[in-house]
Chains A and B, each alone.
Chain A
Amino acid sequence: MDKFAALVLVILLLPLAGAVLISFAGPYLPRVAAAVIANGTLLVAFLMTGIVALTGWQATSSGQTIPQHFAYGTWALIPPLKISFGLLIDPLALTWMLIITGVGFLIHLYSVGYMASDRNYRTFFAYMNLFVFTMLLLVMSDNFLWLLVGWGGVGLASYLLIGFYYDRVSAVLAARKALIMNVIGDVGIMIAIFLIYAHLGSAAYSDVFARVASVGAPALTAIGLWLLLGAVAKSAQLPLHTWLPDAMEGPTPVSALIHAATMVTAGVYLIARCYPIYDHAPVAAEVVAVVGATSALFAATIGCVQYDIKRVLAYSTMSQIGYMMFAVGAGAYTAGAFHFLTHAFFKALLFMAAGIVIQNLGGEQDIRKMGGLAGKMPLAFWTFLIGTVAIAGVPPFAGFFSKDAVIDAAIALHHPVLGAFLIIAAFLTAFYMFRLLFLTFFSGAYRGDGAPHDHPMVSMNVPVVVLAILATVGGFLAAPLGAALRLTFVGALHDQDIATINWPVAAGAFLLVVAGIATAYALYQVRPQLRESLIRALAGPRQLVMNAYYLDTVYHWLVEVPAYAIADAAAGFFETFIIRAIPLAASATAAALGGFARAWESGQLRRYGLTIAVGVVLLLAWYVITAYAAASQGVLPQ
């Protein structure tokens, strides 16, 4: 193993080592030590990832090629099946790795303060480190099997952290829902792998992507659609998104890291990673784009009427991932990755600023019980404001550039209807984010109980400020990111330029953003009466949207109720009346056969021998079965 191969393996295993160490030391480890281990492993992993990225960057700038692919061993070899363990460290993987370790470190740091008074402080950091490890595995793997291992692993970490407050029934149920829906996605990926193996004979990316051109479109379409099932489950896209709002039951740093910045973008990563498949499967790619754009608009409408600060952010996450999903579906892979990058900055920022507010209000999350907090929590306010303008798409903040890149792609790649969805969603995003901002920090005086207090904690404030800076200037990463990702998306069907801004489109989108902000300002700052009359006039549709279009109810009746009905029927009726009746039915058959055997006389000695053997066995069987029948009624001697 050469130096580079060892280095990337260490990046992967450091967070795992932290998790294992904290778990095994348990209560013997001082709380501070747990925090130091968790933060330290991530910081080192981030710095090492930075070194790898810079080395690669320098090498390619000077025209050299550096190794990207590292093989370590064989998972299983059952010829013709061979599955290895290897890592692929290309610009796409590095983009995700930098965010996972970098933003991951900032959120770990924030957690030191946010979770300070929690009883299960060490467990929290162990789970968070486990998450980072599995997420790194997901993006670093060089084949589909280990991608799936990471994929399942992040599902487990997400489950554990959603259900972190495990004495709360709502958290337990939310965690269960998230894991079950994610397992549906896992099955999608499993089927995709089975099909990939059947048609392309391997599970390694390099083999699969090299052979894509030799396979017909129908097979690739099927593969693309099954992969998409995994992607929508993990990335909370239609129709498997209903777990994400409930996932807000987890501690706020979890929402920031897993359910905003990193894990939920795994679906985007997957599609971008499989770009050779989607480039050759236009139908599947189109479905991805449709799912993305529809989810973007769908979630944006729900975001407009929610009152829980974290649920608004959750729907906005779903909506923003919709943008990314559309981009990778339309073939603008780099634009999708770019929006992932900026979104990680501003969405983590928004959650963390919201976390400060929630903590200072003693756990209050209902924005109807907030208001007028701008002066009381200046740091939370200013950073939340930066996050809000960044997500809304106000120049020169980060979201402006990346969202523009996605909308440009919609126009350049001829998706007029989906592009319109995205533009409407941009308007709604500006509206609901400023609605949230106004209701939380302005709109009159504080409406909650008790007095809000501001407890500044360095460990929480520092990462928030760092992210605020990144959310401000992150848009200028377009040029280097675009140049780097060109090395991954070699031979992609469409142009991958993200650095050029299409100014007429950008200006038009910006006007809509201004309109969205103005609407929010009018309804929540200037004219509350107008808002009240609007709410009355639109009571019906509002009810529909507030309940997230009743999809939870639909799934309850369409999936959950029938599944449990089948389960109860199997466990009850079927077991009692069919399964237990089989031995009884067998006894009747045996009796009939016994009658046949008696009539079976022909004078042949061999046949007699066989008849005797059969007869003995059947007699025994008859006795056994009748005794069994009696025993099952409980009348046998005991």
Chain B
Amino acid sequence: MMIDLVIFLPAIAAIALLCIPRDAQRALRGVALIGALATFVLSLGFITGGFGNEFDQRIPWISGTWTAAYHVHVGGLSVYFVLLTTLVSVAAIWGAFSYSDAGKLRGFLALLLLFETTLLGLFTAADLLLFYVYWDLMLIPVFLLLVGYSGSAEARSAAWSYLLYNGAGGLVLLLGVVGVVLHTGTFEVLGQTYSFGTLENWLFAAFALAFLIKTPSFPFHAWMPPTYTNSPPPLVAMVSGVQSKAGLFGFLVFALPLFPVAAHTWAPVLLVLAVASIVYGAFAALGQRDMKTLVAFSSLSHLGLVVLALFAFDLTSVPGSIVMIVSHGLISAALFLLLGFVEERTGSREIGAFGGLAAHAPRLQALMLVAAMAALGLPGLSGFAGEFLILIGAWQTQPVYTAISLIAIVVASAYVLKMFQAAMHGPESVPGGRTYGDLRAREIWILAPLIAGIFLFGIWPGVLLPGGGSLTGATPAHTVALHGQRPHA
């Protein structure tokens, strides 16, 4: 019940919004923000007793040749994803208050809330059918937000690119799901071990391809730069901060435990793609002129580290990847929202088109500095904690891939500074003269929880892993897949 409330509260708020007149701006904002905040506060209930709690609800759904259940679960692994979603959603929905077209604000907020519900549904799904349904439902709000609420032709083109590429990924996933269910006769596969025989490699490949497209991973990221660049800041904060974790969640919760043997068989390929994402993403970020696209590629690079962690099969790197997932969610949401604030003030996000904002916006500079340094991997902030735990673990099993990945850390310092300094430093110059002020109180409060998390999980990542990284709730199959022993085929 508790889980359902968390999942559907944003959707209820969205429906409530539709009952409010379009021009009642204050009411619209109030309802949307209260909905998101209430969801976040409720979701905190999952960790009142610590990270080890398990919440479970199961209602039979389909029976017969194939069985399925409405089975939702919040536990050891999913709790991080759920809390990240509810936290980032608050920031995104509050950030959406400054959406420029007042007439469209209602729809904008409602779609963001619906998007939150699909994300929460995905991260709580303990049934493959449910997971698949949310996997595809997620596409709709993002597509509509891009098509209807960005106002540019590029955004509409990006929307199609997003929908079709991810839709193709969804179809591949469907293929995999169908394959699994034909074999097992049930969608409730979590916690079970199956022997798929030779089919396992193919099923894993289908799951993996879908997950790599969603994350995205090199070379399946063609949809990402246009989508991230053209999304309004609150949307991209949610897509990059949360939705990009859907594939990683899929690996952790479904693909690795279901197909442990195939995961090891395919590991060399995934490791190569991971390292390619890490290094290629970093260099591609360095080559950008649009700050949003730059951060988009840095995201490609940083999430490659998570894939590296998962397929290095090390005791430390997998729990480390949880720190990285949470950290990346906070950092990328903060960066995209900050770039939104910058764009509101300067009308641009092009490197070299403006500069020197630090002179009259010291608070904007300070918060941007924290987020930028966290993305750069400055020791003491959460980005470093994730990177370090992943890399020290991955080094033990895959030193060569890990060593190559380290190149990206140096390149990251170059692209992060390229962006940060271009915006903040140098002689003050803004096209059309300076009309902006420093961050307002609302903007600071939007960012405050994200920044606080960046500090907290950097200084003390252990707070995320109180069980010593044992990831309570992980099934025996998990333990096999995650903890490095090669299972006997």
Complex interface: chain B residues within 8 A of A574 (CB): 280, 284
Q: How far is the CA of A194 from the CA of B356 in the complex (A)?
A: 39
Q: How far is the CA of A180 from the CA of B415 in the complex (A)?
A: 10
Does B165 lie at the interface of the complex (its beta carbon under 8 Å from any beta carbon of A)?
A: yes
Complex interface: chain B residues within 8 A of A193 (CB): 392
Does A190 lie at the interface of the complex (its beta carbon under 8 Å from any beta carbon of B)?
A: yes
Q: Give chain B interface residues in 210-232, CB to chain A under 8 Å.
A: 218-222, 225
Chain B residue nearest to A185 (CB atoms) is B410
Chain B residue nearest to A165 (CB atoms) is B425
B351 to chain A, nearest CB (A): 12
Chain B residue nearest to A582 (CB atoms) is B219
Complex interface: chain B residues within 8 A of A558 (CB): none
Q: Is the interface of A mostly helix, strand, loop or mixed?
A: helix
Chain B residue nearest to A74 (CB atoms) is B462
Complex interface: chain A residues within 8 A of B391 (CB): 190, 194
Interface-lining segment among B82-90, B168-176, B240-248, B445-453:
B168-176
Q: Report which of B219, B285, B315 forms a contact with A579, defined as CB distance below 8 A.
A: B219
Q: Report which of A77, A166, A627 forms a contact with B469, defined as CB distance below 8 A.
A: A77
Chain A residue nearest to B420 (CB atoms) is A176
Q: How far is the CA of A490 from the CA of B385 in the complex (A)?
A: 33
> Across the interface, do A183 and B426 meet the contact criterion of CB distance under 8 Å?
no
Q: Report which of B167, B384, B417, B462 forms a contact with A176, defined as CB distance below 8 A.
A: B417
Q: How far is the CA of A609 from the CA of B366 in the complex (A)?
A: 60
Does A81 lie at the interface of the complex (its beta carbon under 8 Å from any beta carbon of B)?
A: yes
Q: How far is the CA of A627 from the CA of B166 in the complex (A)?
A: 13
Q: Report which of A172, A567, A613 forms a contact with B287, defined as CB distance below 8 A.
A: A567
Interface residues on A, range: 35 or more
> Across the interface, do A567 and B469 meet the contact criterion of CB distance under 8 Å?
no
Q: Report which of A169, A567, A569 forms a contact with B426, defined as CB distance below 8 A.
A: A169
Q: How far is the CA of A163 from the CA of B417 in the complex (A)?
A: 12
Interface-lining segment among A516-524, A544-552, A630-638:
A630-638
> Across the interface, do A579 and B392 meet the contact criterion of CB distance under 8 Å?
no
Does B319 lie at the interface of the complex (its beta carbon under 8 Å from any beta carbon of A)?
A: yes
Q: Report which of A78, A578, A609 forms a contact with B468, defined as CB distance below 8 A.
A: A78
Does B8 lie at the interface of the complex (its beta carbon under 8 Å from any beta carbon of A)?
A: no
Complex interface: chain B residues within 8 A of A638 (CB): 147, 153, 156-157, 160
> Across the interface, do A145 and B388 meet the contact criterion of CB distance under 8 Å?
yes
Chain A residue nearest to B385 (CB atoms) is A76
Complex interface: chain B residues within 8 A of A570 (CB): 280, 283-284, 287
Q: How far is the CA of A195 from the CA of B391 in the complex (A)?
A: 11
- Contact code string A568-607 (vs B, CB < 8 Å = 1, else 0): 1111101100111011001000000000000000000000
Q: Give chain A interface residues in 107-161, CB to chain B under 8 Å.
A: 123, 145, 148-149, 151-153, 155-156
> Across the interface, do A78 and B165 meet the contact criterion of CB distance under 8 Å?
no
Complex interface: chain A residues within 8 A of B323 (CB): 76
> Across the interface, do A78 and B379 meet the contact criterion of CB distance under 8 Å?
no
> Across the interface, do B164 and A578 meet the contact criterion of CB distance under 8 Å?
no
> Across the interface, do B426 and A575 meet the contact criterion of CB distance under 8 Å?
no
Complex interface: chain A residues within 8 A of B137 (CB): none
- Contact code string B189-229 (vs A, CB < 8 Å = 1, else 0): 00000000000000000000000000000111110010000
Does A624 lie at the interface of the complex (its beta carbon under 8 Å from any beta carbon of B)?
A: yes
Does B31 lie at the interface of the complex (its beta carbon under 8 Å from any beta carbon of A)?
A: no
Q: Report which of B153, B287, B411, B421 forms a contact with A568, defined as CB distance below 8 A.
A: B287
- Contact code string A192-205 (vs B, CB < 8 Å = 1, else 0): 01110110000000
> Across the interface, do A167 and B409 meet the contact criterion of CB distance under 8 Å?
no
Given contacts A152-B380, A563-B411, contact A81 B283 (CB under 8 A): no
Does A620 lie at the interface of the complex (its beta carbon under 8 Å from any beta carbon of B)?
A: yes
Does A21 lie at the interface of the complex (its beta carbon under 8 Å from any beta carbon of B)?
A: no
Q: Report which of B157, B182, B379, B392 forms a contact with A152, defined as CB distance below 8 A.
A: B379
Q: Report which of B160, B283, B392, B413 forms a contact with A627, defined as CB distance below 8 A.
A: B160
Q: How far is the CA of A80 from the CA of B164 in the complex (A)?
A: 44
Does B316 lie at the interface of the complex (its beta carbon under 8 Å from any beta carbon of A)?
A: yes
Q: How far is the CA of A180 from the CA of B153 in the complex (A)?
A: 38
Does B144 lie at the interface of the complex (its beta carbon under 8 Å from any beta carbon of A)?
A: no
Chain A residue nearest to B415 (CB atoms) is A567
Complex interface: chain A residues within 8 A of B153 (CB): 634, 638
> Across the interface, do A627 and B164 meet the contact criterion of CB distance under 8 Å?
yes
B214 to chain A, nearest CB (A): 15
Does B178 lie at the interface of the complex (its beta carbon under 8 Å from any beta carbon of A)?
A: yes
Given contacts A570-B284, A580-B222, contact A167 B426 (CB under 8 A): yes
> Across the interface, do B175 and A187 meet the contact criterion of CB distance under 8 Å?
no
Given contacts A78-B465, A169-B427, contact A180 B417 (CB under 8 A): yes
Does A23 lie at the interface of the complex (its beta carbon under 8 Å from any beta carbon of B)?
A: yes
Q: Report which of B174, B378, B385 forms a contact with A617, defined as CB distance below 8 A.
A: B174
Q: Report which of B219, B316, B362 forms a contact with A78, defined as CB distance below 8 A.
A: B316
Q: How far is the CA of A145 from the CA of B366 in the complex (A)?
A: 25
Complex interface: chain A residues within 8 A of B297 (CB): 571
Complex interface: chain B residues within 8 A of A163 (CB): 421, 425
> Across the interface, do A187 and B406 meet the contact criterion of CB distance under 8 Å?
yes
> Across the interface, do B167 and A631 meet the contact criterion of CB distance under 8 Å?
no
Complex interface: chain A residues within 8 A of B426 (CB): 166-167, 169, 172
Q: How far is the CA of A477 from the CA of B359 in the complex (A)?
A: 46
Q: Report which of A567, A578, A614, A636 forms a contact with B175, defined as CB distance below 8 A.
A: A614
- Contact code string B423-447 (vs A, CB < 8 Å = 1, else 0): 0111110000000000000000000
Q: How far is the CA of A145 from the CA of B458 in the complex (A)?
A: 12
Q: How far is the CA of A152 from the CA of B378 in the complex (A)?
A: 6
Interface-lining segment among B32-40, B54-62, B260-268, B395-403:
B395-403
Q: Report which of B168, B406, B412 forms a contact with A191, defined as CB distance below 8 A.
A: B406
> Across the interface, do A167 and B384 meet the contact criterion of CB distance under 8 Å?
no
> Across the interface, do A191 and B403 meet the contact criterion of CB distance under 8 Å?
yes
Does A361 lie at the interface of the complex (its beta carbon under 8 Å from any beta carbon of B)?
A: no
Given contacts A79-B315, A198-B395, contact A166 B160 (CB under 8 A): no
Q: How far is the CA of A190 from the CA of B392 in the complex (A)?
A: 8
Chain B residue nearest to A150 (CB atoms) is B379
Given contacts A166-B425, A197-B392, contact A567 B283 (CB under 8 A): yes
Does A75 lie at the interface of the complex (its beta carbon under 8 Å from any beta carbon of B)?
A: yes
> Across the interface, do B168 and A632 meet the contact criterion of CB distance under 8 Å?
no
> Across the interface, do A198 and B396 meet the contact criterion of CB distance under 8 Å?
yes
Given contacts A76-B461, A156-B373, A613-B175, contact A624 B283 (CB under 8 A): no
> Across the interface, do B358 and A76 meet the contact criterion of CB distance under 8 Å?
no
> Across the interface, do B366 and A628 meet the contact criterion of CB distance under 8 Å?
no
Chain B residue nearest to A26 (CB atoms) is B362
Additional A-B contact list (19), CB under 8 Å, known A152-B380, A153-B378: A78-B469, A123-B362, A152-B384, A163-B425, A167-B356, A176-B417, A187-B406, A567-B285, A571-B284, A572-B287, A574-B284, A582-B222, A583-B164, A583-B165, A613-B175, A624-B164, A627-B164, A628-B161, A632-B161
Q: Which B residues are closer than 8 A to A by beta carbons?
A: 147, 153, 156-157, 160-161, 164-165, 167-168, 171-172, 174-175, 178, 182, 218-222, 225, 280, 283-288, 297, 315-316, 319-320, 323, 356, 358-359, 362, 366, 373, 376-380, 384-385, 388-389, 391-393, 395-396, 399, 402-403, 406, 409-415, 417-418, 421, 424-428, 460-462, 465, 468-469
A–B pairs, 21, beta carbons within 8 Å = A76-B323, A76-B385, A76-B462, A77-B468, A78-B469, A79-B315, A145-B388, A152-B379, A155-B378, A167-B427, A176-B417, A183-B377, A194-B399, A564-B286, A570-B280, A571-B286, A571-B287, A574-B280, A614-B175, A617-B174, A625-B168
Q: Which A residues are closer than 8 A to B by beta carbons?
A: 23, 26, 73-81, 123, 145, 148-149, 151-153, 155-156, 163, 166-167, 169, 172, 175-176, 179-180, 183-184, 186-187, 190-191, 193-195, 197-198, 563-564, 566-572, 574-575, 578-580, 582-583, 586, 609-610, 613-614, 617, 620-621, 624-625, 627-628, 631-632, 634, 636, 638
> Which 6 pairs show the lowest CB-CB distances between chains A and B?
A571-B287, A152-B379, A78-B469, A567-B287, A567-B286, A631-B160
